Chains A and B, each alone.
Chain A
Amino acid sequence: MTEAHGVVFIVDDDAAMRRSLSSLFRSVGLRVEVFASAQDFLRCTPPNLPGCLVLDVRLPGLSGLDLQRRMAEANLDIPIVFITAHGDIPMSVRAMKAGAVEFLTKPFRDQDLLDATHLGLERDREARAHRADSQELHNRYHSLTSREREVMACVVAGLLNKQIAAELGMSETTVKVHRHRVMEKMGADSLAELVRMADRLSIRVPKS
């Protein structure tokens, strides 16, 4: 296993707990970063890798649940596995509703913690891929000229070249040229793919 698997952030005020959790994650080949408080974690710059936060609920200063809320407010989207020595049901419901991956009560089975952490890492990996995809798509769309964007909107709306020409006040030949450039720049192999891209970009179809 390599670092590409991701990094586990451990936030626990108990040094022994940090040590043992760190050892456990390292034993399965995960990179680990440990923090004694929520504030310490917020100060760090996370590496650009899929991550999962293993977070103690009871912490001095900001509690684990406070940190979860802060992260949501700051759009810091790292999956969280909560661990606690005395969790109650309302607390776990609150954490899970706010998007936690898992809520484990100490002492927990190693496999439960590892499974939850892997699930968190997998979620972050997918989210990162999704974010990267849509960033790429946006980049491509931004490379279109405004004329090409207009043509693209008409194409995905299902207009024929002749209709587009009339709509935009240009010759059919010019439409064909723009249309070709759109397909090329967007990297779309078919009209169907272009329509899907338009959907992800939320391009509005002009009323004809």
Chain B
Amino acid sequence: MAPGEQQGPVNDSGELHHLRSCISNLISLQALPAIWAGREASRYLSVLLEALIGMLHLDFAYARAIDTLGGRIEMVRVPHRRPADIDADKIGRALEPWVSGDDPLRSMTVLNPIGEGQLLISPVRFGIQGDTGVLVAGSERPDFPTAIEMLLLRVAGNQATIALHEAGVAARQRQTAQELERRVEERTRELRRTSEALGEAQAELAHVNRVTAMGQLAASITHDVMQPISAGISDAYAARRWLGAQPPNLDEVRQSLDSIVQQGNRAADVVVRIRAMFRKAPLRKDAVEINEAIRAVVVLTHGELLKNNVAVQTQLADDLPSIQGDRVQLQQVILNLIINAVEAMSSLREGSRELLISTRNDVSGLLVTVRDSGPGLSAESLERLFDPFYTTKAGGMGMGLSICRSIVEVHGGRIWASRDFSQGATFQFTLPLPGA
């Protein structure tokens, strides 16, 4: 208040009451956006119109707006004493001439859009540039709108601007959040697919590596054995021709025969060397806890078992003594038996796929049993199963079980297979206890 300006006494109790209610209304209006923060714009406008009707004793309150997402909202509220059969669209059309265009809006008397005769309307534009919507208050009171009522309407317009803006922000946030969620889900699905494909590729690679390594080994063995055999055979052919010559050249025959003996021995040496190579491997003699070794392999094959829908069960006896041996090689045996079982069971179209791995202390030492519910073994394959190069699998090398047998035997144990009369195959091996 400027100095020197006279302050009029506020002694009129009606005026005071009016001011009080005006302040209270202002506070209410100011609070509205906060209360409805983040809700839908239509909800806010509806509450705002109700509030204005109560505060200003309006005969109707109309609002229309474009919400931030581009939707059109139009609504009308009337006091409860009025019949509610009025339609926002109809009123909107009736008010159109007074609220459209770019001209500043002003209060005026118009034909009552919701009843008889005329009434006064006071339109207010809102939005940051007045372009978000328009609010129209209508009253039959001849003094409408008073300066205070105009003030309240303008404040209401400002609050509508804020609320709609916030509603828009919230809506956009929701939309962004939803989009984000959708993309996260999509990405997760993609990652899952990639991870599955990767797992398959890894399994395939491991298999190819195994087969390739075996193939290379086989090719190398073939070459090393074939070379002296071929030389010996050529010597024998040559000897036969020297003998058949006229006269026979016995000196050449003798040389050829010497060479044949040499080449025969050379081939035998290669075979001995290969055997020694396989035998030499388990030089390690560690204390091996067989149960712990089995558990590690089961963990390792978890993915493979899951993928093939195989339920694995272990019955590992407590208090088994540790044995002396090569942990990695023994795990290779177990791994081989598990993979064989999984492959056998994967040929089953129906029926449960169960794998039981058990250990116990037996008279002959530790007994490890791997039992599957696959198609089982034929009597013929049962006999030859552990022979090198014998296979019942398309693409199998026929080396897996043969190597298993070598490993078990090097550890002083025995390995065998048996048929279950019901279903499936059982592979068992023993490992002698230390001091046995």
CB of B260, distance to nearest CB on chain A (Å): 9
Range, interface on chain B: 20 to 34
Residues of A within 8 A of B266 (CB): 16
Q: How far is the CA of A191 from the CA of B83 in the complex (A)?
A: 130
Proximity bits, B196-237, A CB within 8 Å = 1, else 0: 000000000000000000000001001100111111111101
Residues of A74-88 at the interface with B, using a CB-CB cut-off of 8 Å, are: 85-86
Most buried by B among A58, A86, A113: A86
B229, A107: Cβ atoms closer than 8 Å: yes
Q: Is A199 an interface residue (CB 8 A)?
A: no
Residues of B224-252 at the interface with A, using a CB-CB cut-off of 8 Å, are: 226-235, 237-238, 240-242, 245, 249, 252
Proximity bits, B285-298, A CB within 8 Å = 1, else 0: 00000000000000
A16, B263: Cβ atoms closer than 8 Å: yes
Residues of A within 8 A of B256 (CB): 20, 23
Q: How far is the CA of A109 from the CA of B234 in the complex (A)?
A: 8
A107, B234: Cβ atoms closer than 8 Å: yes
The verdict on A20 contacting B232 (CB below 8 Å), with A86-B219, A86-B226, A110-B238 known, is: yes
- Indicate which residue in B223, B238, B263 contacts A27 across the interface (CB closer than 8 Å): B238
Residues of B248-275 at the interface with A, using a CB-CB cut-off of 8 Å, are: 249, 252, 255-256, 259, 262-263, 266
Residues of B within 8 A of A113 (CB): 234
B259, A85: Cβ atoms closer than 8 Å: no
- Indicate which residue in B219, B223, B231, B245 contacts A20 across the interface (CB closer than 8 Å): B231
Q: Is A200 an interface residue (CB 8 A)?
A: no
Residues of B within 8 A of A21 (CB): 234
A-B Cβ contacts below 8 A, count: 73
Residues of B within 8 A of A85 (CB): 222-223, 226-227, 230
A17, B230: Cβ atoms closer than 8 Å: yes
The verdict on A27 contacting B245 (CB below 8 Å), with A16-B228, A19-B231, A107-B230 known, is: yes
Q: Is A4 an interface residue (CB 8 A)?
A: no
Q: How far is the CA of A17 from the CA of B260 in the complex (A)?
A: 11
A23, B223: Cβ atoms closer than 8 Å: no
B259, A86: Cβ atoms closer than 8 Å: no
- Indicate which residue in A14, A109, A110 contacts B231 across the interface (CB closer than 8 Å): A14
Residues of A within 8 A of B219 (CB): 86
- Indicate which residue in B223, B234, B249 contacts A58 across the interface (CB closer than 8 Å): B223
Q: Is A24 an interface residue (CB 8 A)?
A: yes
- Indicate which residue in A16, A17, A24, A106 contacts B241 across the interface (CB closer than 8 Å): A24
The verdict on A16 contacting B226 (CB below 8 Å), with A110-B238, A110-B241 known, is: no
Residues of A1-28 at the interface with B, using a CB-CB cut-off of 8 Å, are: 14, 16-17, 19-21, 23-24, 26-28
Q: How far is the CA of A16 from the CA of B263 in the complex (A)?
A: 8
Residues of B within 8 A of A14 (CB): 227, 231
A106, B259: Cβ atoms closer than 8 Å: no
CB of A22, distance to nearest CB on chain B (Å): 9
B235, A86: Cβ atoms closer than 8 Å: no
A23, B233: Cβ atoms closer than 8 Å: no
Range, interface on chain A: 20 to 34
Proximity bits, A46-73, B CB within 8 Å = 1, else 0: 0000000000001000000000000000
CB of A60, distance to nearest CB on chain B (Å): 13
Q: How far is the CA of A85 from the CA of B240 in the complex (A)?
A: 23
Most buried by A among B222, B230, B233: B230
Q: How far is the CA of A58 from the CA of B230 in the complex (A)?
A: 14
Chain B residue nearest to A113 in the complex (CB): B234
Q: How far is the CA of A16 from the CA of B256 in the complex (A)?
A: 10
CB of B177, distance to nearest CB on chain A (Å): 59
Chain A residue nearest to B226 in the complex (CB): A85
Residues of B within 8 A of A110 (CB): 234, 237-238, 240-241
Q: How far is the CA of A86 from the CA of B230 in the complex (A)?
A: 12
Chain A residue nearest to B222 in the complex (CB): A86
Proximity bits, B367-396, A CB within 8 Å = 1, else 0: 000000000000000000000000000000
Residues of A within 8 A of B240 (CB): 110
Proximity bits, B386-422, A CB within 8 Å = 1, else 0: 0000000000000000000000000000000000000
Residues of A within 8 A of B228 (CB): 16
B226, A24: Cβ atoms closer than 8 Å: no
A107, B233: Cβ atoms closer than 8 Å: yes
Q: How far is the CA of A86 from the CA of B262 in the complex (A)?
A: 22
A27, B241: Cβ atoms closer than 8 Å: yes
Q: How far is the CA of A106 from the CA of B234 in the complex (A)?
A: 10
Proximity bits, A94-135, B CB within 8 Å = 1, else 0: 000000000000111110010000000000000000000000
A107, B226: Cβ atoms closer than 8 Å: yes
Residues of B within 8 A of A28 (CB): 241
B238, A23: Cβ atoms closer than 8 Å: yes
Chain A residue nearest to B233 in the complex (CB): A107
A17, B238: Cβ atoms closer than 8 Å: no
- Indicate which residue in B231, B237, B249, B252 contacts A16 across the interface (CB closer than 8 Å): B231
The verdict on A17 contacting B242 (CB below 8 Å), with A24-B237, A86-B219, A110-B237 known, is: no
**6 contacting pairs across A/B (C-beta < 8 A):** A16-B259, A20-B238, A27-B245, A85-B222, A86-B226, A110-B237
Interface residues, chain B, CB within 8 Å of chain A?
A: 219, 222-223, 226-235, 237-238, 240-242, 245, 249, 252, 255-256, 259, 262-263, 266
**Known interface pairs A26-B252, A86-B222, A107-B229; 5 further A-B residue pairs with C-beta atoms within 8 A, sorted by A's residue number:** A16-B231, A17-B227, A17-B234, A19-B231, A23-B234
